[in-house]
Amino acid sequence: MSDERQIARERLRVLRDELAYHAHRYYVLDQPVIADAEYDRLFRELLELEEKFPELVTADSPSQRVGGAPLEKFAAVQRRHAMLSLENAFSEAELRDFEERLQRFLKNAPQLAYVAEPKMDGLAVELVYENGLFVLGSTRGDGRTGEDITRNLKTIAAIPLRLQGGSPPALLEVRGEVFMSSAGFKKLNQERAAAGEPLFANPRNAAAGSV
């Protein structure tokens, strides 16, 4: 390996780590520590090096988020474990029934503590990481079979292409919701109205339609 190529390999590694860190600060924590112009400069440097050394492009490079248009037709994905939906409870009696069923299932488990948070209404998805690398994203579908939307999910900056930390598990399946904030929904519909495009009925439809 030439010295120039080795230097480029190391610089690309540093750029990928820096860009991933700053994207997490910006999109997830909402606590950016550098100006947008500085992020853009780092990203341009990465693109220039990857153009010069295309064999050094990796799957977790930020450039792979914007490499092509999202797919409109999706392949089927058979998941390892069923992806079930959440149960609803609309009364205190239903909550008590849930507690009793849980206690029967856990038998002699110690007293439980609960954490409550708002339910984000969007599109249920599963992310699969192998050795820390994002390799597959899919919709819930019927629970056993979903649709492969990996390429579309890679356009979401808040989803890491590689997990942080030094010892990622060999396999990690993450389940969550793709949702859109009310402010983002309002802005999107304003842009669609200005472009003469049909408006989305609600944030959930907009989030699902975006992937």
Query: Catalytic amino acids?
Result: 119
Which tokens in the block code for residue 194?
Answer: 């200005």
Encoding tokens for residue 125?
């998805």
CB atoms near residue 50 (< 10 Å): 20
Tokens of 106: 């856990």
Residue 179 contacts residue 189 (beta carbons within 8 Å): no
| H helix intervals, the chain | 3-23, 36-52, 92-106, 150-153, 182-194, 203-210
- b/e for 28-40, b at 16 or more Cβ within 10 A? eeeeeeeeeeebe
CA atoms within 13 A on the CB side of 1: 11
